[in-house]
Chains A and B, each alone.
Chain A
């Protein structure tokens, strides 16, 4: 397969994730959009590491993908903590109604 094919798949995933986190009402759906975007980025890193590896090491892109997965884990934990705390306080997690911080 060519590099372009992988880039097209990750571009579609990225756009769907971006559409999710600008348009969803539910906070957890927004989090799922972020996960899609992170997956698209990791797929790009791995595809570039395979087709155009860096001079230093063939595995640099895969190391980046591992870091992306770990960052996604940290981000999911904190975001779900915030979602649960918001649910305890307001009994819903609709992003368009969580306006307590609005000036």
Chain B
């Protein structure tokens, strides 16, 4: 077994295990911190798939930004009296079995589909230069739209939290 394969199984096991903890832990803070480490291991997948820049984006934006925000939100709104009951489910058994059934359907689809695979995936070098060129040439319109969307989301979030009319 070669090294990338070993790392894949490591990342896959840890990611799936952590996702189960995130989904079924009854303490919301445990879920939030487990999600943090899950996002680290997702960056490992991206590195295995030749996305070095993407792995760094995942670490900095997702783990460092979004997840810290989630932990903040958890701490600001959690019921401090009963932290171990902060992440309850309703209809837990029913949704669990629907989820298992849905996963089984997806796995069957993957098993019975033939993908137009390359014989040998191309060796990928550093991708940052090419991603920069793509973002400023082919994808310049989505790039500008998403920057506008981020500004709008930021202003909207401030408006929602502060209420807007109290000055």
Q: Which residues of A contact B (CB under 8 A)?
A: 1, 3-9, 11-20, 22-29, 31-33, 35-36, 39, 42-43, 46-47, 49-53, 56-60, 62-63, 65-67, 69-78, 80-85, 87-88, 92-93, 96
Contacts and interface: CB of A to CB of B under 8 A. Distances in A.
A47 to B, nearest CB: 6
Contacts of B163: 85
A84 B35 contact: no
Range of interface residues on B (Cβ < 8 Å): 35 or more
Contacts of B100: 15
Interface of B: 4-5, 8, 12, 15-16, 19-20, 22-23, 28, 31-32, 35, 38-39, 42, 45-46, 48-51, 53-54, 57-58, 61-62, 65-67, 69-70, 72-74, 76-77, 79, 86-92, 95-96, 98-100, 102-103, 106-107, 110-111, 115-118, 121-122, 124, 127, 130-131, 134-135, 138-139, 142, 146, 149-150, 153-154, 156-158, 160-161, 163
A35 to B, nearest CB: 7
B131 A19 contact: no
B77 A28 contact: yes
A15 B115 contact: no
Contacts of A87: 76-77
A97 to B, nearest CB: 11
A42 B57 CA distance: 12
